[in-house]
Amino acid sequence: MAEKFNAFIIEHRFKPIVTMLKDIFPSIIRRVASKKKIAYQLDLLICPTILKRIEKEKNQSRCWQASSGGNGMYDVKHGC
């Protein structure tokens, strides 16, 4: 993410801070508006990137088992 942002502002990076911000502000606003438009078109409650991560974590956690130890304590073991 940082590499993308740095590439995005490369031509403005060496200007004084206020000038740099004035120059990149319109581009950032357009980018946010386009991302918002795409997000409204999705018929999901959770964004696709997060859904992919949840699926990955779900598959990795399949072999772990939790058992109650009482008093709100749990024992977690790798069970595969």
What are the start-end ranges of the H helices in the chain?
Answer: 2-8, 17-41, 48-60
Tokens linked to 10: 């490369």
Segment 40-63 mean pLDDT: 88
Which residues, 6+ apart, have CB-to-CB distance to 47 below 8 Å? 39
Question: Taking 70 as the threshold, does the pLDDT of residue 1 lie above it?
Answer: no
Band (63; pLDDT cuts 50, 70, 90): confident
What integer is the mean pLDDT of 50-54?
Answer: 93
pTM for the model: 0.51
b (16+ CB within 10 A) / e for 41-75: eeeeeeeeeeeeeeeeeeeeeeeeeeeeeeeeeee
Question: In the structure, what pLDDT confidence band is assigned to residue 47 with cuts at 50, 70 and 90?
Answer: confident
